Structure 1
Amino acid sequence: MEQMPRAAVDPLVVGGVIGDVVDMFVPAADLSLHYGTKHLCNGMEINPHSAAQSPRLLITASVPVPTPNYYTLVMVDPDAPSPSEPTFREWLHWLVIDIPEGSDASEGKEVMEYMGPQPPTGIHRYVFVAFKQNSLMETVRRRPVERGQFNTRQFASENDLGLPAAALYFNSQKQPAGNKKH
């Protein structure tokens, strides 16, 4: 295996994203996320207040292609309601389809409105997974899409999305009342 793809998925293995949310994959796209001025890297700590609004999110293919690609973005919390008892695994926080490559996620079709992190207890992982679509989807095959007990692997299978093209996650925990930023 090449060093580059392995290095790109190592934080996902260490963070348990590969295993809990998705299977091992070779990255085929780059995922860039910004909450305000903060650029996200795997495993960063973000307080819930800073992530209350949807991020700027760009997906670009690792290797340019002549025809435009479209992507599906899934954001889940695999630790709901608590990391020690994730009975709601996975909690769907955001679902956007038909995101044009190189465009912000807001250019896609939002299937499930963005919901910022609201960890009730413990440190939660918030996972963004981008899947390359075979063509425009316009709608998802599984209706209705529910927030609770969402399954990223099952969703990808039902919509012929295959393995992820990219993934990124951050950690968040409930802020003590005196530590909230306004």
Structure 2
Amino acid sequence: MNIDRLMNSGKSIRPEQGNKKSSGQKDPKKPATKTNVMSTSVFIVCIFLMFWEGLKACQLPQDNCPPGATLTLTSPGGGAVYSKCGDTINKSAAKEAPQVKFQNVQPDSLYTLVMADPDAPFKDNPTQKYWLHWMVTNIKGSNLMDGNALGGDVVMAYIPPTPPKPEPGTTNPHRYMFYLLEQTDEPDTSLVNPEWRGKFRLDDFVINNGCQIVASFQYTTSF
């Protein structure tokens, strides 16, 4: 190295600092500032509040008779009429899909009907909750006013109640829930497994489809 040339150039000789970072480079070990921590905390709180408000607004299904509008069910062929939520019916009366009627609808709107059993296989141990018995989408409101739920698209064909035989000395009544959802978009049926009706994620289905349960019904029956 030519020392004289460096000295004559007017530049001072400084010892090299091998690990010194440029002024614009942040030290990865430097702790986050209070401003960054507060901003992140505020963001998380806002997201939680948005989720909580949305969850409160969402009408999730209930396994018992919820308050609000009630569907009217009629046995095929104009037989028995069931309009009181919680009615007990004979299993033989539900061998075929009922006529489902509801007047408080918009004639041109579309609706989804779901029938599910929350007590499968046993009410005290419902390992297959929810058992999906029936699902019809794209039902016109005008058809519901006439009691024709089959006027829509059948996603899961109807099967009648099948509560198992109870243990000796016990009873095993099952609840069968009907939910009517007003469609806000094309129905999302991705959670429906055509090969297996058990463990249907009803809450997630309702959330995925707009959370608009407008009416419901329940009856119970036994083996």
Pick the TM interval, shorter chain. Answer: 0.7 to 0.9
Q: Check whether the contact 2:87–2:220 (CA below 8 A) recurs between aligned residues.
A: yes
1:119 alignment counterpart:
163
Unaligned segments of structure 2, at least 5 residues: 1-60, 167-171
Q: Is the 8 A contact 2:71 2:101 kept in 1?
A: yes
Equivalent-residue separation in structure 1 for 2:112 and 2:102 (angstroms): 10
Report sequence identity in percent: 30
Greater fraction of residues in strand: 1
Q: What residue is the counterpart of 2:180 in the other structure?
A: 130
Between 1 and 2, higher relative CO (CA 8 Å, sep ≥ 6) is seen in: 1
Q: CA deviation at 1:136?
A: 4.8
Q: State the alpha-carbon separation in 2 of the partners of residues 51 and 26 from structure 1.
A: 24
Structure 1 residues 171 and 25: CA distance shift in structure 2, 3 A: closer
**What's 2:193 paired with?**
144
Distance 1:150 1:126, change over 3 A: same
Larger radius of gyration: 2
Matched, 1:165 2:209: no
C-alpha distance in structure 1 between counterparts of 2:210 and 2:67, whole Å: 13
The match for 1:72 is: 112
- Distance apart, 1:48 and its partner CA: 1.4
Unaligned runs of 5+ residues in structure 1 are 1-16, 175-182
* AA partner of residue 77 (structure 1): D
In structure 2, give the amino acid aligned to 1:39: V
**Residues in 2 aligned to 1:151 and 1:21: alpha-carbon distance in whole angstroms:** 17
Q: What SS does the aligned partner of 2:101 have?
A: strand
Please report the TM-score for the alignment, with normalisation by the length of structure 1.
0.73
Task: Give the one of 51, 60, 76 matched to 2:103.
Answer: 60
The one-letter code sitting in structure 2 at the alignment partner of 1:166 is A
Instruction: Report what 1:97 is aligned to.
Output: 137
TM-score by length of 2: 0.60
Is 1:156 the counterpart of 2:200? The answer is no
Q: In structure 2, the residue corresponding to 1:60 is in which secondary structure?
A: coil
Report how many aligned residue pairs link the two structures.
149
State the distance in 2 between where 1:52 and 1:109 align. Answer: 20
Root-mean-square deviation over aligned CA pairs: 2.3
- Cα offset, 1:75, TM superposition: 0.2
Q: Does 1:87 align with 2:87?
A: no
Distance in 1 between residues matched to 2:112 and 2:201, nearest whole Å: 14
Pair 21,44 (structure 1): closer, same or farther in 2 beyond 3 Å: closer
Residue 34 of structure 2 aligns with which residue?
none
